[in-house]
Structure 1
Amino acid sequence: MTNTGLATPASLPTEVAALRPIRADLMERLRHEALTVPGNWVVEYGDYQNGGWHTLSLLNDTGNPRDVTIRDCPEPVATSLLTRMPAVRELLAELGLRCMWARLARLEAGAFLWEHRDYGELNDVERHRVHVPLVTNSSAYLILGGTKVHMSDGRVWRLTPTSPHGVCNRFGPARIHLVIDCYADDAFTALNASADSVADSVAALPTPAADELEEHVATASGLAQLGYDRAAETTLLELFYRYALPEGQVYDLIALMYAALHRDEDAERWRSKKAIMLGHA
């Protein structure tokens, strides 16, 4: 029997929390800075996305806003970009977190960050990620644990990025978040304690029927046979945003597709990519 494909209401996964609100006047200044100050956005982590995710650093260990490769940084400094953003500085001071890194992240219309885990390459110390949506829209959402979550603006959010997750912005306009990676301390504990029941646009994704997945794999296989490998891979990667799937299944489907086409090197490449993306390498 074919699944209806309809998502149903859900509660926030434990890996996501809607935290304290942000004053309306400060929110307006933050939004203005995000839209008018940044320039020369950097595309990094290319294997993790389809090309529409851009970042700039606000706090790091070099002061260069285009230095965006995340690493442990117990004593970060303000980048030249942060010096031009007084509202962001005000919010960072209010939060009082022990920051490791802070950056702006822009997700363009039609952009995807594929299913992945974060922090796998960093030292094993307790750290957390805080999101502050500055510019967003209802088609921009996080997928985690088979749940679709739209992080609404006007408040601070907490995400546990060591759980498999992905992000997309289906239709635009561009989504811009302030993303703060911080170390565990009393300030974070106090912030995390401010969680409330707000859960804007949260829905459980449907579980696909076997024939649905077979149809998608057949479509992707046809594209690959015609030489459209990227389109074939994207067809399957995007299933993560449509259905509640077991961890890494989209990567397995791509590897199986290539194996069935007797393209063993490509199948092995995607098995390896799964290990990297999900921290199993």
Structure 2
Amino acid sequence: MPARSGAAPCPAPNPRKTASVRKLGPVDIAALRAAVLAIPESVWDAENAAKPNRFEVLDATRHIVFRFIDSPRDWRGSHDRAAWPRWRALLEPVLARAVRPYGYARAVFPRVMLARMPAGGVIHPHIDANPAAKWPHKIHLPILTNAGVVSCFGGERHHFPPGEAVEVNNLGPHWVRNGGDTDRVHLIFEYFDADQPDPDWLEPFLLAGTAR
């Protein structure tokens, strides 16, 4: 049924996204782990203060954001942030290895960041509600973790070991709890196939938003 005049269409998710979790395999994180351990607290604080992803559900989790979307309504536009040039040579091989199972010939990483959850920290139950989250794969690569870190995706609890990339369902309710006594640091990023046709709802959705 077509959308009513002036009403935004209901964005449907990318059918290629996982409905729970999808294991992507091991990734060599040795160099990245060493670099993460060397980040001064002052850098974590400064980068977190300037981050574009400010949501109450994230609680005390701090971020260093390397790439980010231009608009929460459209995943196709994204930009490099200040930290990306310094980290690019280290991150690009890690990203490429993590996404190898997809086999996309031409793809984009619209959001790339490190997320540091303190011991005892939580990320409260939520869904990634912005329309730009509907299409890209959402991928986690644990860099530092402990046995007390529990994540809930797809209605099931998981513990993701370091160096094992996994796609998660960010469109259903999910939460994380660090029940250990050390910080949890994940490389979190989004990934989509630039050759996959845009969904039929996208342009009407964007036009409806512009007309408001």
Bucket of the pairwise TM-score, normalised by the shorter protein = 0.5 to 0.7
Unaligned runs of 5+ in 1: 1-12, 63-68, 188-281
- Which residue, out of 160, 171, 174, partners 1:151? 160
SS at match of 1:33: helix
Q: Deviations over 1:71-93 (max 9, x none)?
A: 63424333221222232132234
Match of 1:29 among 19, 24, 31: 31
**Equivalent residue in structure 2 for 1:87, among 85, 90, 99:** 90
Q: SS of the residue aligned with 1:52? A: coil
Alignment match of 1:112 (pick from 99, 111, 122): 122
Using the alignment, how far apart are the partners of 1:125 and 1:113 within structure 2? 20
| Distance 1:41-1:123 versus aligned 2 partners, 3 A rule | closer
Within a 5 Å distance, the mapping from 1:173-188 to structure 2 comes to 173-184=182-193
Question: Structure 1 residues 97 and 149, CA, compared in 2 at 3 Å: closer, same or farther?
Answer: farther
The 3-state SS of whatever aligns with 1:42 is: helix
Identity of aligned residues (%): 21
The TM-score, its normalising length taken from structure 2, stands at 0.66
3-state SS in 2 of match to 1:166: strand
Q: 1 or 2 for the larger relative contact order (CA 8 Å, sep ≥6)?
A: 2
The answer for the alignment partner of 1:17 in structure 2 is: 22
| Inter-partner Cα distance in structure 1 for 2:195 and 2:158 | 27
Alignment gaps of 5+ in structure 2: 1-17, 100-105, 197-212
Q: Normalising by structure 1, report the TM-score.
A: 0.51
Match of 1:126 in 2: 135
Specify the structure having the higher radius of gyration (Cα).
Answer: 1
Give 2:74's aligned amino acid.
Answer: D
| Match in the other structure for 2:61 | 53
> By percentage of residues, which structure has more helix?
1
Matched length? 164
The secondary structure found in structure 1 opposite 2:74 is coil
Q: Is the 8 A contact 1:82 1:89 kept in 2?
A: no
SS of the residue corresponding to residue 48 of structure 1 reads helix
- CA RMSD, 1 decimal: 2.8
What letter is aligned with 2:48? V
Amino acid at match of 1:154: G
